[in-house]
Amino acid sequence: MHYRFLIYNLVVRDLKSRYRNSILGFLWSLLNPLGMMLVFTVMSLVLFRDQTIENYPVFLLSGLLAWNYFSASIMTGANSVLAGGHLIKKVYFPAEVLPISAVLANLVNFLLALVVLFAAILFFHTKFTGWLWLLPIVILIQTIFTLGVVFFLSALQVYYRDTLIVMDVVMLAWFFLTPVFYSATFLPESYTLWGVTLDVRRWSHILNPMASLINMYRDLLYGATRTDLDFFLRTAVTAVVVLLVGYWFFVRYSANFSEEV
């Protein structure tokens, strides 16, 4: 990539600005998932009184960290071009590096937060699966999918400034529709709607790539479920298609960015 050094500097800038004037700095990448783990664990055990999921903190973190990476990338990446408008206006500047650097900065936070997950795995004596070596591939698939979505939204945000506001609501709904803090087995295998019987569990994975991705993470890190190979391949293909379409949309409308930002 021609702009590797530029992307690297933008990622470093984003990370520094995020933790500037923060007492704990990068430690927040570890403390934040720990705090959320405690909150959801209390909700599960005390409020919902659900003790059916073994080693719930590990189960939760294996999905929650991936979701946080996705959600943070969407919300910061969608506004990346608009926030970096001063760079686009002054000199020739490759606009695509802005959403890329936003996603990669959140990827760094995600990788740091994995320390908490592996510590929980060791603490709760959860066995590592033999497929753990696939973890970098799953992370790559998620990054590809996230980049595609961010390319599309960052271009849309330039022309329609309420895109980010709409995404606040969309991401909240998306979170509850994705098995992050609950198991996918809670979803019914069959549900009759207007006389048509649907496999809700299967369609939730087909229509929601994040559900399939989180299921993959749990296969590798928690070992409670088994992802079919067709879901793995379908999600990988979907991620590539979303990236290509998102990038095409971004390039298609990037010519007028300097006039709109």
The answer to whether 238 touches 150, Cβ cutoff 8 Å, is no
Distances (CA, A) of 136 to 30, 142, 145, 216, 228: 20, 10, 14, 11, 18
- Residues spanned by the domain of 210: 4-260
pLDDT one digit per residue (tens) for the chain, 261 residues: 567 888 888 888 777 777 665 555 566 666 777 777 777 676 666 555 556 677 888 888 889 999 999 999 999 999 999 888 777 776 677 889 999 999 999 999 899 889 888 888 888 877 777 778 889 999 999 999 999 999 999 999 999 989 999 999 999 999 988 988 887 777 766 666 666 666 666 767 778 899 989 988 988 888 655 556 677 788 899 999 999 999 999 999 988 887 776
pLDDT digit string, tens, across residues 226-247: 556 677 788 899 999 999 999 9
Residues near 224 by Cβ (< 8 Å), separated by ≥ 6? 53, 54, 59, 183, 218
* CA 164 to chain CA centroid, nearest Å: 16
**What pLDDT score was predicted for residue 69?**
95
Distances (CA, A) of 60 to 40, 52, 214: 8, 13, 10
The secondary structure of 161-221 as a DSSP string is: TTHHHHHHHHHHHHHHHS-SSS-GGGS-S-EEETTEEE-HHHHHHHH-HHHHHHHHHHHHH
> Considering its fold, how many domains does the chain have in total?
1
Phi and psi angles of residue 55, each rounded to the nearest 5 degrees, phi first: 50, 55
Greatest pairwise CA separation for the chain in angstroms: 59
Instruction: Give the Cα separation of 221 and 132 in Å (integer).
Output: 7
Residues near 31 by Cβ (< 8 Å), separated by ≥ 6? 24
